Structure 1
Amino acid sequence: MKNWRNDVTPEVRAYLERLSYDGPLDGGARTLAELQEHHLHTVPYENLDILRGIPLSLEIQDLFEKIVIRRRGGYCFELNALFGWLLRELGYSVTDYMARFWRDEPNPPPKRRHHVLKVETDGAFYLCDVGVGGIVPRRPIEMVEGLEYREDAQCYRLEQDATYGWMLLELNNGQWRRLYSFAEEPQLPKDFVMPNYWCETAPDSPFSKHAMVAIRTHSGRNTVAGREFRIFTSNSVHSFIPETKKAYNEALRTYFGLVIDEI
C-alpha cells in the first residue's frame, strides 16, 4: 500500500494521526466511511469552552489548533467545519448545509442550528456528520430517499419533506422519528457565525446549561451530562459523579482523552 504520509501536507498528516487513521486515501466511499467512524471514536463532542465563557472561533487555523494540536473536541459548528476541511484536502467534493435538529426539540419546528456535510464520491452523494453528541449514524448515509440504513440496533432513512428538505429519520420503538432536516442550500463559512453565536450566548440555548460530552467506543459510548459520567457498553451502563474537581478532570482525561486546566 502506498505510504500516504509522503503525499499529504503536515497539517493533514497531523489530523489523520489525531484520528488514529492509517488506511488508504483513495478518495472513495469506503475511505470516507472509515474516516468518519475514526473521527467519532477519537474526537469527543463537547461544549466545555462555552461553559467556561471562552469564545469559539470557526476559523480553520483555530479549529486545527484546538482539535488537532491541543486534542480537544467541539460541537457541530467546530467538528464538521474542520472535518469538511480535511475531506477537501483529501480531494473530496464537500458542500456545507445548515440543519434543524428535531430530536428532543421542545418547541418544534426547531431553529437551524446544526452543521452537516454532503460529500460526493464514487458517483454518489453522502450525508456526513461528526458533530452530534447523541446516537447518530457512525458512517455516511447515501442520499437516496427511502433507503434504510442499519447499524447494529439502530436504523435510519432519509426522506424528502416539502417544507424542510431532506429529513433524517431514526426508528425508535417501531416508529420513525425525526432526527434532523436540511435543505440543499449551500452555506458559506460566514453563514455559521450567527447560529454559532446564538448557541454560545442565547439564554435558551441548550449548550450553555450544563456539560455535554460524548465519544464512541468499541464497546459502546461514553457520555457526560452535567457532572454525571455514563459509560455504556453493549450490555450495561456504569454511571458515577466525581466528588471533586480534580476527580472530574481526571475522568475527562480517562474516558475522553481531554486535558483541561479547570472545569
Structure 2
Amino acid sequence: MNVQAYLRRIGFNGEPDGSAETLGKLQELHLQSVPYENLDIIHGLPLSLQVEPIYRKIVERRRGGYCFELNALFGWLLRELGYGVTDYFARFWRDETDTPPKRRHHVLRVEAEGKLYLCDVGVGGIVPRRPLLLLEGLEQRQGDELYRFDRDPEFGWMLMEQKKEGWSRLFSFTEEPQLAKDYLMASYWCEHAPDSVFKNNLIVAIHTKEGRNTVWNEEFRLFRPDGVHAFTPASKAEDAEALKTYFGIESDDGGA
C-alpha cells in the first residue's frame, strides 16, 4: 500500500500538508476519480472491508466501490497524511420510505487545523463535494447546493440539504466511534438481503467537473449544464466501452 500511488490514482499533484484546503481538494478529486459502484455485488463476488484488498481493488485495479469500501480506504489515506479521523455509522434518509432508516452508511469525521469536518466519498447521488464544517446551524454553500447540520435529540447530527420545497434530511449520525468490524453486518445485509437496493440494481456513479455520470441498471445518464443525456447500450461490448469511457472501469464483469 503506497500513499503516492493512491494520490496519483485520484490526480492529486499538490503537497499533502495536512491543511483544511488540501483535505477539501482530496475529497473533491476522489469523487471525480473513483466511481461509486456495486459491480461485485451484482456479480456475486464477496466484498472485503479490510483496507489492503480495498486498496488493491481501487488503486491497483482502478475500480470503485460503495461506502463501506470507499470511506474505509479514504480514511486510511487521511490518517497516513496526518489527519485525525473518526469513523461513524450513519442513517441515510434521502428517498427512504421506511423511516427511520437503518444504520448502513459509513462517514468520516476529520480534524484539520483544529476544526472538525464531515467527509464522505461514499455516496452515488448528489452529496457535498468538499468537507463540511461540523457546526450546528451554519449554512454551507457548495455551488448550487446548500447544506447545514441540525441536532436531533434521537438521531444526533442531521445533515440537511436545501430543496425547492425546503430543507430535507440527507443523513444522520451519532458520535460513537466505530471499528472496521462494526460495519461487517450492515455490509453483509447490503450484499445479500433480498430487499437490498444494492443486490437488485446495478448502480454506478461518478462526479465530473460539469456534473455527474450515472448508471441505473441498463440506463446511462450524463448530467451536464445543458441537460441530461440518457442512453442504453445495445450490446455487452457497448456497455463495457461506456463503463470505461464514463467511469474509468475497464472490467465489465465486476473484476471476476
Give TM class, smaller chain: over 0.9
| Preserved CA contact (<8 Å) 1:245 1:262 | no
State the partner residue of 1:65: 56
After TM superposition, give the deviation of residue 73 of structure 1 in Å. Answer: 0.2
Provide, for residues 172-207 of structure 1, a one-character-per-residue CA deviation record: whole Å limited to 9, x for no partner. 114100000000000001101110101100111111
State the partner residue of 2:188: 197
State the partner residue of 1:95: 86
The letter of the residue matching 2:133 is E
Superposed counterparts of 1:45-84, under 5 Å: 45-84=36-75
State the partner residue of 1:114: 105
The letter of the residue matching 1:173 is K
Runs of at least 4 residues off by over 6 Å: none
**Residue 76 of structure 2 is aligned with which of 73, 77, 85?**
85
The letter of the residue matching 1:253 is K
The unaligned stretches of length 5 or more in structure 2 are: none
Which SS does the other structure have where 2:79 is aligned?
A: helix
TM-score between the two structures when normalised by the length of structure 1: 0.95
User: In structure 2, what is the Cα distance between the partners aligned to 1:262 and 1:74?
Assistant: 14
**Residue 26 of structure 2 is aligned with which of 27, 32, 35?**
35
State the partner residue of 1:217: 208
The answer to which structure, 1 or 2, has the higher relative contact order (CA under 8 A, 6+ apart) is 2
Does residue 26 (structure 1) correspond to residue 17 (structure 2)? The answer is yes
Which SS does the other structure have where 1:163 is aligned?
A: coil
Percent same amino acid among aligned pairs? 61
**Residue 161 of structure 2 is aligned with which of 170, 189, 196?**
170
The letter of the residue matching 1:194 is M
Does residue 158 (structure 1) correspond to residue 149 (structure 2)? The answer is yes
| Preserved CA contact (<8 Å) 1:47 1:211 | yes
TM-score between the two structures when normalised by the length of structure 2: 0.98
User: In structure 2, what is the Cα distance between the partners aligned to 1:98 and 1:186?
Assistant: 8
User: In structure 1, what is the Cα distance between the partners aligned to 2:225 and 2:76?
Assistant: 33
Which SS does the other structure have where 1:251 is aligned?
A: helix
State the partner residue of 2:135: 144
The letter of the residue matching 2:32 is H
**Residue 123 of structure 1 is aligned with which of 114, 129, 134?**
114
Which SS does the other structure have where 2:49 is aligned?
A: coil
Does residue 247 (structure 1) correspond to residue 238 (structure 2)? The answer is yes
User: In structure 2, what is the Cα distance between the partners aligned to 1:149 and 1:212?
Assistant: 28
After TM superposition, give the deviation of residue 114 of structure 1 in Å. Answer: 0.1
Which SS does the other structure have where 1:238 is aligned?
A: strand
Which SS does the other structure have where 1:22 is aligned?
A: coil
Provide, for residues 74-100 of structure 1, a one-character-per-residue CA deviation record: whole Å limited to 9, x for no partner. 000000000000000000000000000
